[in-house]
Amino acid sequence: MWFVYILACADGSLYIGETHDVRKRLARHNDGIAAAHTAKHRPVRLVYTERYDTRAECIARERQLKRWTRAKKEALIAGSRSPRLDMHERSLDVVGNARNSDAIDPRRRQDVDRWFEDSKILPR
């Protein structure tokens, strides 16, 4: 199982990456050893994930998201929020006034919620 993820950095920037272990990758970003951008803008918080069966699908989606405008990324994040994540994401001041969200498969949204529950990673 592979994941595309979006991180909110301390300076307000967004970082997009892919991994097979989100928990471990998030820890590496916060330790400053995963990517130069996140190392300079710590701490980072996980604000969005999508699950894929193959790495090729995951990389294709990561590349697509990296080409999007910030407004479009914020709309995707805003549209994916579950009630449990809502307060956390508002505290990040990442979602801004995004009103429209891209269509997201509801099954992926459920997968994200289930992943949070299974991995015991809860927002602050």
Q: Which domains does the chain have, with CATH numbers?
A: 2-119 (3.40.1440.10)
Question: What is residue 104's predicted lDDT score, i.e. its pLDDT?
Answer: 42
Looking at per-residue pLDDT, the higher value among 37 and 87 belongs to 37
**What does the pLDDT read at residue 47?**
94
Identify the weakest region by mean pLDDT among 45-49, 63-67, 117-121: 117-121
Q: How confident is the model at residue 113 (pLDDT cuts 50, 70, 90)?
A: low
pLDDT-derived band at 58, boundaries 50, 70, 90: very high
Full-model pTM: 0.66
Q: Distance between CA 103 and CA 6 in Å, rounded?
A: 17
> For residue 4, what pLDDT is reported?
96
In the predicted model, is pLDDT for residue 6 greater than 60? yes
Average pLDDT, the chain: 76
Task: Please report the pLDDT score of residue 18 as a whole number.
Answer: 97
- Can you tell me the distance from the alpha carbon of 60 to that of 11, in angstroms, rounded to the nearest whole number? 27
The residue-averaged pLDDT of 6-21 equals 95
What is the distance between the alpha carbons of residues 32 and 39, in angstroms, rounded to a whole number?
4
| End-to-end CA separation in angstroms for the chain | 25
Task: Give CA–CA dist 89/46, Å, rounded.
Answer: 9
- In angstroms, the CA 110 to CA 70 distance is 24
Q: How far apart are CA 58 and CA 50, in angstroms?
A: 8
Region 26-53: mean pLDDT is 94
